[in-house]
A and B are shown apart, each in its own frame.
Chain A
Amino acid sequence: MSDRGDHQVSDQIAAVKLTAITKRFGSVVAVDNVDLEIADGEFFALLGPSGCGKTTTLRMVAGLEFPTEGSLKIFGDEAGTLPPNKRPVNTVFQDYALFPHMTVEANVAFGLKMQRVAKHEIAGRVQEAISLVRLEGLEQRRSQQLSGGQRQRVALARALVNRPKVLLLDEPLGALDLKLRQEMQGELKALQREVGITFVFVTHDQEEALTMADRIGVMNEGELLQVGTPAEIYEHPVNRFVANFIGQTNLLDASVVSNDTVCLANGVHIPGKSDLPVGTRVAVCLRPERAGMHPPEEVPADQQSVVGRLESVTYLGNALVYTVVLDWARLEVRRENQPGGYRPHVGEEVAVSWTLDAISVVRA
């Protein structure tokens, strides 16, 4: 699974292919010149803060918005101007949008009825979809009589019963509480593997994206900033925004000195690989769990370090988070809560250290 992103979109036709897609609402640019290919069978997440254009992008694939410019292909067929009922995609809406005047069964059967599928076939497929999402016995309920998790499943069944080529999910777990959300994350992932359909889902929750997706596209202010596997995005963010948005991170201001050296804001040169031009303002991205902590005079020879004063310790149970203050930066260091080891006290001088492969240099 982990190398999914590497053999993406090579020989086969992309499930969804956006080329130079732009969407403007009046003078507001919601989606700005986005190029994106999503492979067949992929579980793809569009991740970004609210208003970043991710939902608009999804709605354009669904046909609920038409692009202002650009080409949108679904399995090789130009689809940008087709109405939603003429596209081989189905959507799981954010608040599920179940028809309140219909039973669970009628909701699930709706799409097939509209496609004029034969009656006996509808019955079979509806039953199949309902058991796929484990809602047997609730066929005659109405959506008002269902819990949030059950509604979610109905919405899934209602979309999947049509055997779409691409399933679009708009913040599918947003309305659920934490526990249920975590449960459904696993279930969605298993479901996707079972049906083998391309899933494209929109979320603002980075953890959800990391947990579920094969590949993630990070968006901000209408632009698609980076596309990659969760590991690529987490470990090699392209810029400060991505680094900050995905997971916790420390960002140290720096500038490029050569292709393997950067100069930190305090004037110290440290090793740091980048292919950016000399002089570019960058940030050194150091994840809290990848930072080490030592007494200032005991830093291992193969590690870089900065020295600061320990300002606070936050006890998380399974881990401890140390906040170290430098006169030009503030760093967080996360240590597993294991017996023994170095346990400095608040106010002490400590060295925050890292090995070369623990950091990445990103555009500021």
Chain B
Amino acid sequence: MTMVADRPEGIEEAAVATPEFEKAAERAASRRGFLLSLPAYAYLVLFFAVPLGIVMIYSFATRNRFGGTDLSGWNLNAYRKLGEPIVRDILFRSLWLAILTTLICLVVAYPFAYFIATRTPLVRNLMLVFVMIPFWTNFLVRNYAWRVLLGNDGLFTNISEALGLGERELLFTTSAVVIGLVYGFLPFMVLPLYASIERIDLSLVEASRDLYASGFQTFRRVLLPLSMPGVIAGSILVFVPSLGAYVTPEILGGAKTTLLGSYIVTQFLTARNWPVGASLSFVLMSVMLVATLVYFRTGGRNL
């Protein structure tokens, strides 16, 4: 990011240009850039980096007998506890659900994003607005709405009964959680996919068809590779929040399927085992960090 160089202070008159003047002007520009971004930096350090540091410190601390945490006797016990079957099962279940959610989102969103990207600009913008409309309602409210839809006397059970499939209980199952997660995060898949498909020159599709490729081959060999940045970006944007999801599993999943988010909350609030909650948070965070790095390395910079 370069900024138009401002005249450094102290030189008011028009004068012959010198290398010193040029350097001073560059320094002035970079100083101004720093000053302009200072509020954002300060905010992030204060409310993100510092709390994160606190969480990290707690993850190495010891839980005492009274449910408090002693900031002494640093150890890795909390991390060792993550290897126990209960925690491991929760970790794998969360991972599996996040992967499943991501895959479903990808399969549902890709044709839709392609459809939007190939419309006229007016229709395109209209459809993008439709994709965004759910965000106008609070996430929590929407999850409770799903509770009604999936519930005992909800739309889905009624349909299933009407079709003669019997009274299917969906609410408080893993399926309900996946449905809710897909619903909640689908726009995060659609938008980056749309952005990268929209940038593909559609004459490449024509060229591929002209060169004897079928519709599916054209997708496999031309569209998919060229929209890979969008696929990766969308997958990470869905995978990361799905992995740490708390609200949706809590509302739609009931007590039977504990996931990572709920488990962490339980550790902090109910079990009063802050070190374990902190260590799990940290492991989760590093998985997300790796995912984000992958995103930036492979395609993020194109978006």
Q: Using CB atoms and an 8 Å cutoff, list the residues of chain A in contact with chain B.
A: 62-64, 83-85, 89-91, 93-95, 97-101, 110-111, 114-115, 158-159, 162
Contacts and interface: CB of A to CB of B under 8 A. Distances in A.
B206 interface: yes
Given A99-B222, A101-B225, A101-B226, A83 B203 contact: no
16 contacts: A62-B210, A64-B206, A64-B209, A85-B209, A91-B206, A95-B201, A95-B203, A97-B203, A97-B207, A99-B204, A99-B222, A110-B208, A110-B213, A111-B211, A114-B212, A162-B211
Contact of A99 (B207, B210, B212, B214): B207
A114 B217 contact: yes
B221 interface: yes
A97 B202 CA distance: 9
A95 B204 CA distance: 10
Contacts of A63: 209-210
A84 B226 contact: no
A319 B203 CA distance: 43
A81 to B, nearest CB: 15
A154 B206 CA distance: 16
Contact of B213 (A95, A97, A114): A114
Interface in B199-256: 201, 203-204, 206-214, 217, 221-222, 225-226
Nearest to A101: B225
B interface: dominant SS: helix
A90 B210 contact: yes
Interface of B: 201, 203-204, 206-214, 217, 221-222, 225-226
Contacts of B226: 100-101
A100 B226 CA distance: 8
B201 A97 contact: yes
A85 B204 contact: no
Leading 3 A-B pairs by shortest Cβ distance: A111-B211, A97-B207, A114-B212
Given A100-B226, A101-B225, A101-B226, A110 B203 contact: no
Nearest to A62: B210
Contacts of A115: 212
Contacts of A62: 210
A99 B207 CA distance: 9
Given A99-B222, A110-B221, A93 B206 contact: yes
Contacts of A111: 211-212
Contacts of A83: 209
Contacts of A84: 206, 209-210
Nearest to A100: B226
A114 B211 contact: yes
B206 A90 contact: no
Contacts of B221: 110
Nearest to B217: A114
A97 B206 contact: yes
Contact of B214 (A85, A90, A93): A85
A114 B226 CA distance: 18
A56 to B, nearest CB: 13
Contacts of A64: 206, 209-210
Nearest to B228: A101
Contacts of B210: 62-64, 84-85, 89-91
A323 to B, nearest CB: 44
Given A100-B226, A110-B221, A93 B213 contact: no
* Most central of B206, B209, B211, B221 by chain A CB within 10 Å: B211
Given A97-B201, A101-B225, A101-B226, A85 B212 contact: yes
A91 B203 CA distance: 11
Contacts of B208: 99, 110, 114
A64 B208 CA distance: 11
Contacts of B222: 99
A94 B207 CA distance: 11
B225 A90 contact: no
Contacts of A100: 204, 226
A94 B217 CA distance: 23
A111 B210 CA distance: 8
A63 B210 CA distance: 8
Nearest to A115: B212
B209 to A, nearest CB: 4
A115 B208 CA distance: 12
Contacts of A85: 209-214
Nearest to A109: B211
Nearest to B206: A64
A182 B9 CA distance: 56
B119 to A, nearest CB: 16
Contacts of B207: 91, 93, 97-99
Contacts of A159: 211
Given A64-B209, A114-B211, A114-B217, 16 more contacts: A83-B209, A85-B211, A85-B214, A91-B206, A91-B210, A93-B203, A97-B201, A97-B203, A98-B207, A99-B207, A100-B226, A110-B211, A110-B221, A114-B214, A115-B212, A162-B212
Contacts of A99: 204, 207-208, 222
B302 to A, nearest CB: 12
B108 to A, nearest CB: 25
Contacts of A97: 201, 203-204, 206-207
